[in-house]
Amino acid sequence: MVQPPDAPARTPDLAALADLLAGAVVPAARGLLGCRLTTGGVTVRITEVEAYAGTAGDPASHAHRGRTPRNAVMFGPAGHAYVYFTYGMHWCVNVVTGPDGEASAVLLRAGEVVEGVEAARVRRPAARRDADLAHGPARLCAALGIDRAAYGCDLLGDGPVRLRPAAEPVPEAAITAGPRVGVTGAHDVLWRFWIAGDPTVSEYRRHVPRSRR
């Protein structure tokens, strides 16, 4: 990935992560496992993700019908945050991937709080265990204090929300794939990835349409 002339120099590991995110969404999603997201005095090690392509054949993607004010950041550049509000109460955060102009993103579904546990507990007082602090996409955002202000943030820069490579890459043998959670289309596409056996990974729930009365 070519950096702007005024961008700070990246370490080799961070440059490799930038290149990964600039490529196809599925390898990027797998490569995000084990990476660390830091903001609000909390760091989360990512343990579960979901990949979403753009307009080309992924009806579960927010970009399936094209660019809108809500999803504009999904169209690039890679490495930025796509944050959206859902069910009128929860924030969710995605990492934008792919070449500029081709929408795709990876939803961060769950993680392990590895720094700032006390701050995360204050934000998530209902969590019974530390493993539950970022157990699910809305809980992950709550533990980190992520909201609309993070929309469009350059995660690979030195801004308030920072994504950094894994201290140790997750072995391929430790990665499990399955269908995405709660989507209204492409239910059986195996684009949800997680670290096998990790206690922070969320439960699978298939979308059930609401019955009309």
Residues 71-101: tens digit of each pLDDT:
999 999 999 999 999 877 899 999 999 999 9
Q: For 121-132, write each residue's pLDDT tens digit.
A: 999 999 999 999
pLDDT at 205: 72
Enumerate domains of the chain plus CATH numbers.
12-195 (3.10.300.10)
Q: Higher pLDDT residue, 110 or 55?
A: 110
186 beta partners: none
Query: Tens digits of per-residue pLDDT, 2-53?
Result: 444 455 567 899 999 999 999 999 999 999 999 999 999 999 999 999 999 9
Helix residue ranges per DSSP H, the chain: 12-21, 25-32, 117-123, 137-144
d(Cα 197, Cα 18) in Å, to the nearest integer? Answer: 28
CA proximity to 141, closest of 183, 119, 108, 116: 108
Q: Is the dihedral of CA 75, 48, 21, 7 positive or negative?
A: positive
